[in-house]
Amino acid sequence: MRYAKFLIVPVVAVLFYWFSPVKVVYTMDSSLAYKWWLWIEIPFTPKRGDYVEFVPPVENQYTRGKILVKRVACVEGENLTVYGLDFYCNGQYLGKARTQDSKGRPVEAFYWSGEIPRGCYFVMGESERSYDSRYMGFVCRRHIRAKLYPLFRGPNLDGVFLR
């Protein structure tokens, strides 16, 4: 019984972290420059430039079992235009889709020209090889779980978590 008080503090700390709406988290997403983030689960309306964590709207070999973090590149009500493989938001160049993934397998680009529907967002990683809205299409508000703020780039712990 006298050891119970030593167990209470770690258990309470873990529970507080697990259920807290604010956390420091690590991502292994190679399409982002930052690895460490301040994760905030509060009601908010995503704006262009925000980083969001979301459940992918499609399930395939790139998204199965994953939660993704991407930057909001174009928001509801703005005009998304695709010319060939080039994506533009309100005439501003966002990036280019690829026809093959990093292993040479074919990928299909998302095509859209017009206003982004209400409650939907076009999200992109920071790498040209990111699997994002250029391929999976819009991410709707119901898929977004949290807003993230970049803290710092390292240390890179991917090798530790992948063992």
pTM tops 0.75, yes or no: yes
Indicate if the pLDDT at residue 73 is higher than 60. Answer: yes
The mean per-residue pLDDT over the stretch 150-159 comes to 70
Neighbouring CB atoms inside 10 A of 122's CB total: 25
Reported as type and span, the H/E element at residue 130 is none
**CATH code linked to domain 4-153:** 2.10.109.10
**90: helix, strand or coil:** coil
pLDDT digits (tens, 9 = 90+) for 3-57: 666 666 565 455 455 556 677 777 767 777 777 878 888 788 999 999 999 999 9
Q: Domain map of the chain by residue range?
A: 4-153
Give dist(CA 49, CA 4) in Å, integer: 47
Q: State the virtual CA torsion across 23, 27, 33, 37 in degrees, nearest 10.
A: 0
What pLDDT sits at residue 94? Answer: 97
DSSP secondary structure letters along 18-80: HH-SEEEEE---TTSS-SEEEEE-S-----TT-EEEE--SS-STTTTT--EEEEEEEETTSEE
pLDDT digits (tens, 9 = 90+) for 99-135: 999 899 999 999 999 999 999 999 999 888 899 999 9
